[in-house]
A = this chain, B = another copy of it.
Amino acid sequence: MIRTLNRQVRLARRPRGAPVPDDFRIVDGPVPVPNDGELLLRNLYLSLDPYMRGRMNDSHGSYASPYALPFALDAPPGGGTVARVMRSRLDSFAEGDLVVTPDAGWQTFAISDGTGLRRLPNDMAQPSQALGVLGMTGFTAWWGLTAIGRPQAGETLVVSAAAGAVGSVVGQIGRLLGCRVIGIAGGTDKCRQVVEELGFDACLDYRVPDLAGRLREAAPDGIDIYFENVGGAVREAVWPLLNNDARVPVCGLVSGYNGVTEEAGGIHALLMSLIVKRIRLQGFMNADHLDSFPDFERQMRGWLDAGQLRALETIVDGLDQAATAFVGLFEGHNTGKLVVRLSE
């Protein structure tokens, strides 16, 4: 029993700032007919995610990346769905199969050649979970927290957008792995839900005055992991509380997606580039790694003795010259290592 119309929500124009309903248009058309090697899918559930906002722009400015080409105008913006196979002209799927699609969204029917489809149990009780906690949303939370955040029992984890799709999962995983979990969310109702229903240890409303001070009280041992979904003022409140060796998985920066952010433009662009280019930015102090000094010495001496490495030095004679030489460091006077010889 296939309806005779395929309803689509199309991107009518590119949003300026926050999206509004008039940026979209509903269009009814004929239900498409699958060719050989194709499936006709009926969408049951559509996933809506903040990242879609970025793809509604016509470019991504300085952080453009092929992963996220702009959505076409006057077409459905894509996005994941749970769908039922209505007709199959493809051997690997049968009518009645339940699948997750990566990009068939914003319409009631879609044609697929099977690319990127993930099969679900046909009798799955709550198929919408395949878009959420058991889908790409949950996977984002799980991978970012475990692979980048590397939580250890007893550590303090702060999650922004804690009541959101990703944040609500991040915090629960953190709790299951033994972290003390503090959420940051918008409003007292969300905060109550995050604590009472999801079991976070605490949740702060980011709209309160002195968020930084409240957060300091809630995280007396500092913050070991900050799962970044938001950016902006929330990041600013978290930052001074980060402990040494903190990990910050940068998942999203929703505060800036509409191009309206309280964050300095440079920082938003910098962090956004980390996401779209999967960049790892890591500060370090040599003193933390001295257990590797013998390995270093062995390799460097080998190269030095073999003449494969040169020791570039600027040697200044006499302690009396130390101050002048130091001043020169910032004027580009030396090349290589600057050393003062006091005596042979």
B330 touches A19 (CB 8 A): yes
Residue from B49, B198, B282, B297 within 8 A of A248 (CB atoms)? B282
Contact mask A303-344 → B, CB, 8 Å, 1/0?
110001111110100011011111101111011111111111
Q: How many residues of A contact B (CB 8 A)?
A: 134
Interface residue from B18, B24, B240, B283 paired with A62 (Cβ < 8 Å): B240
Contact B246 A327 (CB under 8 A): no
* Complex alpha-carbon distance, A309 and B142, angstroms: 12
Q: Find out whether the CB atom of A245 lies under 8 angstroms from the CB atom of B340.
A: no
User: Bound complex: CA of A320 vs CA of B47, how far in Å?
Assistant: 14
A99 at the interface (CB under 8 A from B): no
- The answer on a CB contact under 8 Å between A337 and B165 is yes
Question: 19 additional contacts, CB 8 Å, given A42-B343, A143-B284, A245-B277?
Answer: A43-B342, A48-B326, A50-B329, A67-B287, A133-B304, A134-B301, A142-B296, A172-B309, A173-B303, A190-B335, A197-B310, A243-B277, A245-B278, A249-B282, A264-B266, A274-B281, A275-B283, A278-B282, A279-B282
Do the beta carbons of A342 and B277 come within 8 Å of each other?
no
- Known pairs A43-B343, A48-B339, A329-B48; A284 contacts B164 (CB<8 A): no
Does A48 lie within 8 Å of B286, measured CB to CB? no
- Establish whether residues A131 and B339, one from each chain, have CB atoms under 8 Å apart when the complex forms: yes
Interface flag for A59 (CB, 8 Å): no
Give A247 Cβ to nearest chain B Cβ, in Å: 5
**With the chains together, A131 CA to B339 CA distance in Å?**
8
Collect the chain B residues with CB atoms within 8 Å of residue A208's CB. none
A172–B310 Cα gap in the complex (Å)?
A: 8
**A323 and B281 contact, CB distance less than 8 A:** no
CB <8 Å contact, A133 and B282? no
In the complex the two chains form, is B128's CB within 8 Å of A339's CB? yes
- Cα–Cα distance between A308 and B171 once the two chains are bound (Å): 12
Contact A20 B327 (CB under 8 A): yes
The smallest beta-carbon distance between A302 and chain B, in angstroms, is 10
Q: Which residues of B contact A45 (CB under 8 A)?
A: 339-342
How long is the Cα–Cα vector from A329 to B20 in the complex, in angstroms? 11
Asked if A250 contacts B18 (CB within 8 A), the reply is: no
A188 interfacial contact with B, CB 8 Å:
no
Q: Which residue of B lies closest to A274 (CB)?
A: B283
A65 part of interface (Cβ distance < 8 Å): yes
| B271–A163 CB distance below 8 A | no
Query: Which A residues from 132 to 169 make CB contacts under 8 A with B?
Result: 132-134, 136-140, 142-144, 147-148, 163-165, 168-169
Please determine whether B42 and A337 come into contact, CB atoms closer than 8 angstroms. Answer: no
Q: Contacts of A85 on B, CB cut-off 8 Å?
A: none
